[in-house]
């Protein structure tokens, strides 16, 4: 099993001069450093970080992982960053957005899953959050920011089994430059590939998009 962390973006909505992944938590760790530590705690040794904006800073602070560079990070989104990371992989892959702060238990749950899974938080969502809906059997049938009456938030941590990687690559290539990777997942779902929502609501997990998210993350993870 391999891990991919998507940390190429500018993160302009947070209004900081550095990549969001390098924001320092109350524990003294960066967001990215915490992610890397947790991936290793659950037994994943090969970690690929996709970099772009101020890539040298990220690479210098965390030199003990592999890197892929998205040279078009200014004009592309997470669909293309994920494609850079997975197009030649052959193992099960867990990937996470580089601005998600989460507990170790979240990742343990994802690792233990036997299906293609999308980690979700069953909460009321704001307009900017990625939402999802399921069918009567509990499988995900839609995932995007534009869903009305979503069942909760897709938190940005996902797992795909090795046998479905070629399909993921094919459908990421179908995405437009500004599409999020969830667009590729929707293409797969429409083609009959099953993704199961994995409820991690009982654990701490937050994606940092705006200053208020960062304030909440600092408060949430100031606790042991």
Q: What CATH number is associated with residue 123? A: 3.90.550.10
pLDDT(56) > 80 = yes
Give me the pLDDT at residue 223, please. 65
Residue 7 lies in domain: 2-220
Chain segment 118-156, per-residue pLDDT in tens: 999 998 777 778 999 999 999 999 999 999 888 999 999
**Mean model confidence pLDDT for the chain:** 94
Mean pLDDT lowest among 12-21, 58-67, 107-116, 205-214: 12-21
* Contact by Cβ (8 Å): 13, 19: no
Task: Judge contact between 84 and 55, C-beta under 8 A.
Answer: no
* Total number of domains constituting the chain: 1
**pLDDT at residue 21 greater than cutoff 60:** yes
Which one is predicted more confidently, 68 or 125?
68
Q: In degrees rounded to 5, what are phi and psi of residue 180?
A: -75, 160
Residues 93-116: tens digit of each pLDDT: 999 999 999 999 999 999 999 999
State yes or no: pLDDT of 166 exceeds 70: yes
């Amino acid at each position: 099993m391999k891990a991919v962390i998507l940390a190429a973006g500018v993160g302009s909505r947070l209004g900081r001069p550095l990549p969001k992944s390098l924001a320092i938590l109350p524990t003294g760790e960066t967001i990215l450093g915490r992610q890397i530590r947790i991936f290793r705690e659950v037994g994943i040794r090969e970690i690929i970080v996709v970099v772009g904006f101020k890539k040298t800073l990220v690479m210098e602070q965390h030199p003990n992982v592999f890197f892929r560079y998205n040279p078009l990070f200014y004009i592309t989104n997470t669909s293309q960053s994920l494609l850079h990371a997975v197009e030649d992989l052959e193992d099960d892959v867990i990937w996470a957005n580089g601005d998600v702060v989460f507990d170790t238990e979240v990742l343990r749950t994802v690792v233990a899953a036997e299906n293609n899974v999308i980690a979700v938080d069953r909460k009321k969502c704001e307009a900017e959050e990625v939402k999802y809906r399921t069918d009567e059997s509990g499988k995900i049938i839609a995932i995007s920011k534009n869903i009305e009456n979503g069942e909760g938030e897709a938190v940005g941590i996902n797992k795909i089994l090795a046998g479905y990687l070629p399909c993921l690559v094919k459908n990421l290539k179908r995405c437009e430059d500004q599409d999020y990777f969830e667009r590729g997942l929707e293409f797969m779902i429409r083609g009959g590939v099953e993704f199961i929502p994995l409820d991690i609501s009982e654990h701490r997990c937050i994606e940092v998009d705006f200053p208020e998210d960062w304030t909440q993350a600092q408060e949430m993870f100031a606790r042991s």
